[in-house]
Amino acid sequence: MKLHVRSATLKGLGRASWDAAAEHPSALDYLLAAVATDLVSGLCEESKSLSLEDVELRLEAFLENPLVVARVVGEEGSPRVALIRGSLYVAGEGEIKEAWQRALERSPVLASLAPETKIDIELKEVRA
């Protein structure tokens, strides 16, 4: 399916996909991409006075009951995202932890997901 957002056209696969080789992202993939975009851009904005050399954020989502999304007959419960977990790898110098905390606190995407969705993203400082 084609999705039009402002002047961009995106392609979407469906609600969720467990196929790693899927041709297009699913709605769940786009949700994680929105979280990642918000947090990484927020970290860059909060750390303008720092020297960040490399940033990588890996996220995964866990559904409360994925069988509901898969349309398994007789399954009940919520298909909601219960947990987003990941690791942020940052190479740089300065007070990265403080900048990361400010990015988390000022994130409109995280604020929209909380408090219903648990967010667990570990900051891992690495050497470049």
Among residues of the chain, what percentage have pLDDT more than 90? Answer: 50
pLDDT digits (tens, 9 = 90+) for 98-117: 999 999 999 999 999 988 99
Task: Indicate the pTM of the whole model.
Answer: 0.87
Q: Which residue has the higher pLDDT, 24 or 85?
A: 85
Lowest mean pLDDT among 5-9, 49-53, 118-122: 49-53
Question: How many other C-beta atoms lie within 10 A of the C-beta of residue 100?
Answer: 20
Q: In the chain, what are the domains?
A: 2-126 (3.30.300.20)
pLDDT digits (tens, 9 = 90+) for 5-29: 888 888 887 777 777 777 888 889 9
pLDDT at 71: 80
